[in-house]
């Protein structure tokens, strides 16, 4: 195999900080990474860049060339920066390393015109939770109306040369971003005003197209890493490797492979490794370590170069047997001269840390990585949504079968984050009445689900309210007896609630409701109606009683409530009925409970 791709790097005990680029879709993450890669290549001679699996390494000399006067290499002893650049893999934010976030430092890209968007806020939430330091790249400054671009210039230089109008417009957009950061609980300022980057977030205005401000961004990243992360970067280079699985992929000629970011030690061909899998730790031997072939060599059939070993920090593809059940986001450890059982226990402990609490009733959750699964679980816990099962991977028929066993309809649901529905699971979803919610923004996903639950509740209550007998109190008016009996027809005033036809009517005798008959007609101003509201005077026909015997002019009458209905009204629907009806209900319950305190409870 070819020479070690990393052996050209400094034999330093300080590793490269791992940088993640995050932000809302279309705000310029890919363009920024391409620009950093592209200019690194064209600046070229020094160390150039090394293309890794899922990452790009930019050595210190190249950073310094790109940053011009802003980075003097003699001020630094970190070897450069490793940018994670797996496209579209915004959930790598949630990837972990031992005890923390996989990324040592992050860039949150925000479009200066578009400002904060859902994925911006989600990225900030995750960075906050994992305590990852970050800078904000306020991108696309070149789109400011009247902007006069200065290719590759540091921000102060180009800013000074702008018209007052253009710089004012940019300022106002930048202050809006600073304000938004403060709303999210971060004290922030333009980076050159920030003294302590541990306390304050620096905002760096940039353009990923004209490269303006990119020197500043690189200088801030290097400075921040050197100043606050040097100790964390001290590693035992020769020690057994530790990393995080970025992706599990089938690769022609190699079977199932792992794309891994190694953040500690060394991994070599033939090393025994322990990887987190769906059914627990997997123990296997490395068959090949693969790096992408530089573009120039792509004419060859082979897309990868084999290497003997790699040292942190780096991105590497690992081919080995038995990787089918490995999980994206899981830990991977080289065993080397340690006890295998100890390493297995270590991996188990890390997996347990991420394990989601599940209950006997709840929804099914699927996510693309362990980290995003954990982020989902946290968000669901906060939203008080119970989880029946939570797993990494695409949505399979088995998931649908499990979701369909939920008792409550609102739990016959699969919440999918950044995953696909396998073809044979699509049909199952329809057949089993299992609802699927999927999104690549966690809080959007949960909001959609909560809306669905609310909507269902509303619809249910409406049907329940329709079927349930509703309380009503009314009074027979003096001089309004139109017929004595069979049926009795009298004028009444509705005091509270809604009077509905066909309901049973009662009259209280002491604390005893005595049924006097059933309503068989309501007339309002000569018209037949099915119901009438509080405040109205109507004439009603009552089957059963005779005026002067069971009922009298001036009597207060009530619609008789079945105990079960009274209970549902009080316990579940009291927020949904009008105040006057609630008053009738309370009056009715009070009377009953003087006799039987537990009536309707």
Q: Give the footprint of ligand GDP on this chain (CB under 6 A).
A: 23, 25-31, 139-140, 142-143, 207-209
Which of 121, 229 has the CB closer to ligand GDP?
121
Least gap, CB of 212 to ligand GDP (angstroms): 8
In this complex, which beta carbon is closest to ligand GDP, that of residue 23 or of residue 471?
Answer: 23
Which tokens in the block code for residue 433?
A: 């009445």
For tokens 């170069």, name the residue: 305
Shortest distance, position 293 Cβ to ligand GDP, whole Å: 24
Q: Which is nearer to ligand GDP, 190 or 344 (CB)?
A: 190
Region of residue 575 (phi > 0: left; psi between -120 and 50: alpha; otherwise: beta): alpha
CA atoms of 23 and 29, how far apart (whole Å): 7
Cβ of residue 92: shortest distance to ligand GDP, in angstroms?
13
Query: What residue spans of 131-213 are helical by DSSP H?
Result: 155-160, 164-183
Residue 514 token pair: 């005595």
Do residues 313 and 246 make contact, with C-beta atoms less than 8 angstroms apart? no
Of residues 109 and 505, the one with the C-beta less far from ligand GDP = 109
The nearest distance, CB 169 to ligand GDP, in angstroms, is: 15
Instruction: Please report where in the chains the tokens 């009377």 appear, as a residue.
Output: 591
CA angle 592, 593, 594 (to 5 degrees): 95
Least separation in angstroms between residue 461's CB and ligand GDP is: 42
Crossing angle for the helix pair 118-130 and 442-467, to the nearest 10 degrees: 110
Q: Which residue has the tokens 């490793």?
A: 82
Range 399-408, long-range pairs (CB < 8 A, 24+ positions): 399/364, 399/366, 399/425, 400/425, 400/428, 400/429, 400/432, 400/434, 401/428, 401/432, 402/364, 403/363, 403/364, 403/432, 403/434, 404/432, 404/433, 404/434, 406/361, 406/362, 406/363, 407/361, 408/361
Residue among 209 and 396 whose Cβ is closer to ligand GDP: 209
Cβ 20 to ligand GDP shortest distance, Å: 13
Nearer to ligand GDP, 87 or 554 (CB): 87
* Shorter beta-carbon distance to ligand GDP: residue 139 or 560: 139
Min CB(126)–ligand GDP separation in Å = 16
Shortest separation between residue 143's beta carbon and ligand GDP, angstroms: 5
Shortest spacing between CB 284 and ligand GDP, in angstroms: 34
Please answer whether residues 326 and 276 qualify as being in contact, where contact means their C-beta atoms are separated by less than 8 angstroms.
yes
Q: Kindly tell me which of 89 and 366 has the beta carbon lying closer to ligand GDP.
A: 89
Q: How many CB atoms lie within 10 A of CB 321?
A: 12
Residue 86 or residue 503: which is nearer to ligand GDP going by CB?
86
Name the minimum Å distance from CB 53 to ligand GDP: 19
Alpha carbon 31 to its chain centroid, in Å, reads 25
Pair 336, 286: CB distance under 8 Å: no
Q: Which residue, 26 or 341, is less far from ligand GDP as judged by CB?
A: 26
How far apart, in whole angstroms, are the C-alpha atoms of residue 469 and residue 530?
14
- Whole-angstrom Cα distance, residue 36 to residue 55? 12
């Amino acid at each position: 195999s070819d020479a070690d791709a990393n052996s050209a790097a400094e034999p330093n005990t300080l590793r490269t900080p791992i940088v993640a680029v995050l932000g809302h879709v279309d705000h310029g993450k890919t363009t920024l990474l391409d620009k950093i890669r592209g200019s690194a290549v064209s600046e070229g001679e020094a160390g150039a860049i090394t293309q890794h699996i899922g990452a790009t390494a930019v050595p210190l000399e190249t950073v310094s060339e790109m940053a011009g006067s802003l980075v003097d290499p003699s001020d630094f002893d970190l070897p450069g920066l490793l940018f994670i650049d797996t496209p579209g893999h915004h959930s790598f934010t949630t990837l972990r390393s031992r005890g923390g976030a996989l990324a040592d430092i992050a860039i949150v890209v925000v479009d200066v015109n578009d400002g904060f968007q859902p994925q911006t806020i989600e990225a900030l939430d995750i960075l906050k939770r994992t305590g990852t330091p970050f800078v904000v790249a306020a991108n696309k400054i070149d789109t400011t109306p009247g902007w006069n671009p200065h290719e590759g210039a540091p921000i102060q230089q180009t800013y000074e040369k702008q018209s007052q109008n253009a710089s004012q417009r940019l300022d106002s957009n930048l202050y809006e971003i600073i304000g938004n950061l403060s709303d999210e609980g971060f004290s922030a300022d333009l980076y050159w005003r920030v003294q302590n980057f541990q306390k304050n977030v620096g905002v760096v205005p940039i353009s990923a197209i004209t490269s303006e401000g990119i020197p500043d961004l690189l200088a801030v990243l290097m400075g921040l890493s050197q100043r606050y992360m040097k100790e964390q970067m001290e590693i035992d280079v020769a020690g057994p490797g530790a990393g995080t699985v970025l992706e599990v992929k089938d690769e022609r000629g190699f079977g199932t492979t792992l794309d891994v970011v190694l953040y500690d030690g060394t991994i070599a061909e033939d090393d025994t490794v322990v990887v987190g899998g769906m059914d627990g730790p997997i123990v296997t031997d490395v068959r090949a370590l693969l790096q992408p072939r530089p573009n120039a060599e792509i004419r060859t059939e082979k897309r990868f170069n084999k290497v003997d070993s790699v040292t942190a920090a780096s991105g590497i593809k690992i081919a080995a047997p038995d990787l089918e059940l490995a999980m994206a986001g899981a830990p991977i450890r080289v065993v080397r001269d340690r006890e295998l059982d100890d390493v297995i226990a270590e991996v188990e402990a890390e997996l347990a840390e991420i394990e989601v609490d599940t209950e006997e009733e709840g929804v099914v959750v699927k996510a693309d990585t362990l980290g995003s699964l954990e982020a989902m679980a946290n968000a669901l816990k906060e939203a008080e949504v119970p989880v029946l099962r939570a797993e990494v991977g695409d949505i399979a028929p088995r998931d649908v079968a499990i979701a369909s066993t939920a008792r409550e309809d609102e739990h016959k649901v699969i919440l999918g984050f950044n995953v696909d529905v396998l073809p044979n699971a699509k049909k199952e979803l329809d057949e089993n009445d299992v609802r699927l919610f999927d999104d690549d923004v966690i809080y959007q996903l949960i909001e959609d689900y909560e809306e669905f639950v609310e909507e269902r509740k509303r619809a249910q209550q409406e049907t329940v309210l329709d079927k349930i007998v509703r309380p009503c109190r009314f009074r027979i008016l003096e001089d309004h007896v139109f017929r004595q009996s069979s049926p009795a027809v009298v004028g009444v005033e509705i005091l509270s609630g809604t009077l509905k036809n066909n309901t049973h009517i009662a009259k209280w005798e002491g604390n005893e409701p005595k049924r006097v008959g059933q309503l068989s007609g309501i007339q309002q101003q000569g018209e037949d109606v099915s119901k009438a509201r509080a405040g109205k005077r109507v004439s009603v026909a009552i089957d059963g009683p005779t005026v002067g015997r069971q009922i009298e002019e001036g009597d207060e009458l009530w619609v008789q409530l079945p105990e079960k209905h009274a209970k549902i009204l009080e316990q579940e629907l009291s927020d949904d009925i009008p105040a006057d009806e609630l008053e009738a209900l309370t009056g009715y319950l009070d009377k009953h409970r003087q006799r039987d305190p537990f009536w309707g409870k």
